[in-house]
Each structure stands twice: as C-alpha cells, then as structure tokens.
Structure 1
Amino acid sequence: MTCRQGKLRLQKWYITRELVQTVLARKPKMCSFLEWRDLKIVYKRYASLYFCCAIEDQDNELITLEIIHRYVELLDKYFGSVCELDIIFNFEKAYFILDEFLLGGEVQETSKKNVLKAIEQADLLQEKTETISVLSNIKS
C-alpha cells in the first residue's frame, strides 16, 4: 500500500521503487491491471492510498480486485472509515487483519464477520495481557 506521495505504508513482500512509480504515474481512467516484469500488477486507489497486488499470469485480476476491496472493507470496519493515519499509527493491526484474511497469498477466510471476530478476540487477549503486566508491575 502506498500513498499518493509514493511513501510505502504497508508491504507484505519487497516492492521496488520502480513499481510504485509506475503505478503512481498512471492516469485515474487507466485500467487497474498492468504487466510488470513477469507478473501482473492489480491495484486500486482508495482516497490517498493505493492497494497493490502482484499476481502470477494464471491468476484472475477481477478476483484480485475483489480481494483488495474486501481488505479495505475489513480495514473500514475495524478502524471506522480507515485513513492513511490509521495505517501509519496502527500498521501492526493492518498486517494482522491482512494475515487473518490472507495466508500465503491465498484467501484464508471469506467471512468479514469471522475475520473481525478473530481480530476482536486478539485485541481482548492483548488488553488482558497488558492489564496483568501493569498489575504485576504495581505489586512489585
């Protein structure tokens, strides 16, 4: 994911500056698919963020666009209308949501409800752990 200024906000694998510049240079009315090296790049812009996926030749571009959209929907549900600052200050949550949704480049869970439930449970566990840690520090 990159912002309009070309700053990388999230990356799951190494993405070169050349690819980011190529995507940012494209006009808004252009197709969201492009050939790049031996891969197909599928991207979608939401506000000031570009969500990009590199897929193999046999992968379906339209399904990839749907996957990008589903991820944005998950981020919106979790953050309440996600923005670039949410990603900057909570990048670990954005990665966690991505990991609950996709595993090894494949969709792991199709249900938004189930993904968000897993995130909520992880948040509760983290809060409990932090509370226990604070209480044990107070007692010491």
Structure 2
Amino acid sequence: MIQFVLMVNRQGQTRLSRYYQPVELTRRAALEADVVRCCLSRRKEQCSFVEYKDFKLVYRQYAALYIVVAVTDAENELSVYELVHNFVEVLDKYFSRVSELDIMFNLDRVHVILDEMIQNGHIVETNKGRILAPLTALDKMADS
C-alpha cells in the first residue's frame, strides 16, 4: 500500500505531497525533510529503492524534480517505480513537456491526475486516456 507521494526539487523544496495514511501536521515537515535528505544524498549509481524506518522509499529523478513514493513492505517496488514513470508520462502528455513551473501553477490539475491513478493508497488506473478524461472534460467546459 502506498503511504505517501512527494515531489521535490533538487533544493529539497516540496512541490507536491499527498498522504494516504494519517500523519500529524507537526510530523510531516520533519518526515519530508528526512525522506528528501535520504533520497537526494544518494548517488545515481545506487538503487532507487531505500529501506526507511517501517516502510520503503521508491524514488525517481526527472530533470530537476524527484518523485518519492513511500510504500509498505508488501508492495512491489518495481510496480511503484513504473507507476512513477507512468505518472510523469501522463503529466508530459497533459502539459506537453511538463516542468516544475507547470506543477507549481497547476497543482490542482496535478492532484486530479494523481487522484485518478491512486485512491486510498492503492493503484486504480494506469491507462493514460482514462486518467486524463476528467481534465479533458473540465478543459472543454472552461473553453465553452
């Protein structure tokens, strides 16, 4: 099961966070800082799966952004690794070459995409067309 998803830049600034298990707000900042420090300090040659406290971290770097997903021990790391890549492909398709600024200024749309893919910590959709359907409908309504 997915615990949380983070998207951070190289400076460690969180651009997106979605928690699927309750975490106190006072603990979130410390948890995110520790997770980001753990992932950003690793070399490119090292594995993208990290044992961290009572869960595993699966991360992937795309240009200046890191996407970090925390999962339970029962979750398949490779499927989550592919989910991260699929998420970025969907963002690329919607924003046509997504950038950090696209994410910052369209955070609501990024959350819609993520919510279409993951619900309650479980992967529910991977088809790019189905994931983008609600946003396409919203964009058509806004244009008319």
Q: What TM-score do the two structures reach when normalised by structure 1?
A: 0.86
How many residues are treated as equivalent by the alignment? 128
| Distance in structure 2 (CA, Å) of the matches to 1:16 and 1:99 | 20
The superposition leaves residues 108-133 of structure 1 with CA deviations (integer Å, 9 ceiling, x where unpaired) of 222111111222012333x16xx7xx
Answer whether contact 2:83 2:126 (CA < 8 A) is retained.
no
**Structure with greater strand share of residues:** 2
Instruction: Using CA pairs under 8 Å that are at least 6 residues apart, name the structure with larger relative contact order, 1 or 2.
Output: 2
| Distance in structure 2 (CA, Å) of the matches to 1:74 and 1:24 | 24
Q: Which residue of 2 aligns with 1:134?
A: none
| Distance in structure 2 (CA, Å) of the matches to 1:118 and 1:89 | 19
Please identify the structure whose Cα radius of gyration is greater: 1
User: Per the alignment, in what secondary structure is the counterpart of residue 11 of structure 1?
Assistant: strand
Over the aligned positions, Cα root-mean-square deviation in angstroms equals: 1.4
Specify which of 54, 57, 61 is matched with residue 73 of structure 2.
57
The superposition leaves residues 26-52 of structure 1 with CA deviations (integer Å, 9 ceiling, x where unpaired) of 111110000001000000001000001
Map 1:1-140; keep pairs closer than 5 Å.
1-13=7-19, 14=28, 15-125=31-141, 127=142
Query: 1:16, CA displacement in angstroms?
Result: 2.3
Q: What TM-score do the two structures reach when normalised by structure 2?
A: 0.84
The superposition leaves residues 42-75 of structure 1 with CA deviations (integer Å, 9 ceiling, x where unpaired) of 0000100000100000110000001001100000
Gaps of 5+ in 2: 1-6, 20-27
> For structure 1, which segment, 110-119 or 60-69, has the greater mean C-alpha deviation from structure 2 after superposition?
110-119
Q: Which residue of 2 aligns with 1:135?
A: none
| Distance in structure 2 (CA, Å) of the matches to 1:93 and 1:52 | 19
Runs of 4+ residues deviating >3 angstroms: none
Residue identity opposite 2:11 in structure 1: Q
Residue identity opposite 2:94 in structure 1: Y
| Distance in structure 2 (CA, Å) of the matches to 1:122 and 1:108 | 21
> For structure 1, which segment, 62-71 or 103-112, has the greater mean C-alpha deviation from structure 2 after superposition?
103-112
Q: Which residue of 1 aligns with 2:25?
A: none
User: Per the alignment, in what secondary structure is the counterpart of residue 57 of structure 1?
Assistant: coil
Identity of aligned residues (%): 41
| Distance in structure 1 (CA, Å) of the matches to 2:131 and 2:33 | 31
